Structure 1
Amino acid sequence: MNYLLPSLRLWLVTILICVVGYAGMMLAFAQTVTPWRADGSIVEVEGRAVGSALVAQEFTVPRYFWPRPSAADYDAMGAAGSNLSPTSDDLTARAQETIARYGATPATPLPADLVAASGGGLDPHISLDGALYQVDRVAQTRGLPQAELRNLVTSLAFAPGGVFAPERIVNVLELNLALDRLGA
């Protein structure tokens, strides 16, 4: 019994230092160095939050570019991979459904990132090839010239790793917001 009070004091000091102190220091550091990311990278349109630049959201309407499939159903609280084996019947069925949704054929194969979910299931980016693959559908639905849409996609593509990872990617939310600004 004589160890109870010192143990509780030690527990309280540990909680204050490790939880409150450490979390406060990390938040202050993040707010100083990268405030936009520390606040969730929230994208606003006319003062209204429409999403986060770092978390994928589902787009299913043909007039928008579609993101990668999500094993977490685009729920940021449940970010995780599916943990399905490559031989899983469920994974095969999901891939076949996705391929059919895009209308892919052996002559026009679907880029791999549009079929497979990312590791966390919430990757907000698709490859440049994945975005360009969707240009025909979006241009036709919106009544835009394909060349104009290809230029828009290419202008928003970037290489996140510079020379170390030169494959270009596109943020789907930013691309779809740019489409809406075109007014078509």
Structure 2
Amino acid sequence: MLDLIRPAIGLTIVMTVLTGMAYPLAMTGIAQTLFPARAEGSLAIRDGKAIGSALIGQEFSEARYLHPRPSAVGYDAAAAGASNLGPTSAELISAVNERRRVWETENGGAAPVDAVTTSASGLDPDISIDNALGQVERIAAARDISALDVERLLAEAVERPFLGLYGTVRVNVLAVNLALDKAYPVAPVQAK
């Protein structure tokens, strides 16, 4: 019996070391060497502090910023997920109609689909070009700059599909908002 157990225990230890330690460490090392920013979470750093990740959507509600896609989880990365409401749900229809009303009041024009619906993760960092362009006038007015200046920054931030095949044309909200702050800073509100 011991002759059968000894090889099983030995194989379990060897495979645990290989697949549970050596392989993950090797992949982490390779990723950090070849793709250091992505391996560290694609963090956006300002003044030496991480202020967000280009991979995780976060809330921006001020008029001077590009607004992200709505989130069913309140942009909480620990609670990523969808609302699980079906297309005939009265609650979903009401939420979409309210988001449409708010978006159209803030920006004018018809709201794009991604401006009024949440994603499966609730944390999409990107929005469609239509959604971004629909917000240009609001951002320009809030920053007291021309709409062409905002459109130029959006054009520079457009991300194309990987290899021209995978994904859609999109804009990363955090990247655009950081570029807006850098190019056209807004003075902080002074306390009275």
- TM-score by length of structure 1 reads 0.85
Count the aligned residue pairs.
183
Partner residue, 1:60: 61
Structure 2: gaps of 5 or more residues: 187-192
What are the ranges of 5 or more consecutive residues in structure 1 without an aligned counterpart?
none
What's the counterpart of residue 158 of structure 1?
A: 159
Worse overlay, 107-116 or 56-65: 107-116
Specify the code of the residue in structure 1 equivalent to 2:185.
G
Aligned pair in 2 of structure 1 residues 17, 165: CA closer, same or farther (>3 Å)? Answer: closer
Higher mean Cα deviation, 37-46 or 149-158?
149-158
Cα deviation for residue 20 of structure 1 reads 1.7
How far does the alpha carbon of each residue in 1:91-147 deviate from its partner, in whole angstroms, 9 at most, with x for none?
212212211221259x82111111122222211111111111011111122212112
- Pair 4,91 (structure 1): closer, same or farther in 2 beyond 3 Å: farther
Q: Secondary structure of the residue that 1:44 maps to in structure 2? A: strand
Query: 2:45 is matched by which residue type in structure 1?
Result: E
CA RMSD of aligned residues (A): 2.5
The TM-score normalised by the length of structure 2 is 0.82
CA positional deviation for 1:156 = 1.6
> What amino acid is the match of 1:52?
S
Contact 2:43 2:52 in 1 (8 A): yes
3-state DSSP of counterpart to 2:150: helix
Identity %: 39
Alignment map for 1:7-46 (pairs within 5 Å): 10-46=11-47
Match of 1:183 in 2: 185
CA distance in 1, matches of 2:125, 2:91: 23
CA distance in structure 1 between the partners assigned to 2:96 and 2:165 by the alignment: 30
Alignment correspondent of 2:80: 79
CA distance in 1, matches of 2:92, 2:19: 41
Q: Distance in 1 between matches of 2:168 and 2:111?
A: 17
Contact 1:128 1:154 in 2 (8 A): no
